[in-house]
Amino acid sequence: MWIAKTKVELRARLDAASRPVILVPTMGALHEGHASLISLAREKAGTDGTVIVSLFVNPIQFDRAGDLAAYPRPLAADLDVCEARSADGVFVPDDGEMYFPDRSVTVTERSLSTHLCGAARPGHFDGVCTVVLKLFLLTGCEAAVFGEKDFQQLAVIRRMVRDLDLRTEIIPHPTIRESDGLAMSSRNARLTPEHRADAPRIRQALLTAAGKSDVASILRVAGEIIGGSSYARIDYLSLVDAETLAPTENLAKPAILACAVFYGEVRLIDNIAVARAFP
């Protein structure tokens, strides 16, 4: 497995790489969820293709300086995960390699990113779209793998690919969870023992609420379960149209119940599909 730290090194490696190239964009601190994305990429690339994992904590998608500073960066462990899941190469740039000091171009999505995390974290998806487009261009990848835990991110990236006529296939992967239901996240490692023990209530709240028969009940039940914790603070809790990501009252169409919850300074997200027509 090769490691490239610069764009020049990456391009040299890719010039000799066999196709297709499948990219797994990550910010590192890899867990089993990320490992499953790499395995899926390996499956899609086949034995002759090339799987590249990017490890880059993208500064321009963070809305809080403290969150960026605290984000874990266990490079040696991350490289071990990549090698164990048969990645062919890893791209590990630093901030200066990815962004010019006087950069002045940003990619902005103006519809799907206006709710949920986009509303709670202004500028977040500008940063996501910009870095993902740069990684697509740098790698020339035929496909890229993204997890469904970040449902809004997946939708925004798909829209960017559609609207900019990119030739990169977007491959989704279902959310990977801990045995107690908590969605795997690099941020889980920053939870205190008390917060970690309490955090599975997020999944419990979504599962219980998704079985209710009207929007008001769905939101009320989920809010009561999460709000029943003295540790948890809801950032947002919303039922949105699965296609537009706008808040919806229409349960006859596929919808997503999504939330972001703070435990101290650690922000966790999760979602569940509500896709059935009620009589």
Active site residues: 34
Region at 154 (left for phi over 0; alpha for psi -120 to 50; beta for the rest): alpha
CB 253 within 8 A of CB 218: no
What's the sign of the alpha-carbon dihedral 120, 106, 153, 246?
positive
H helix or E strand, kind and range, residue 207: helix 201-210
CB 188 within 8 A of CB 198: no
Q: Return the bridge partners of 89, or none.
A: 2, 52
CB 248 within 8 A of CB 214: no
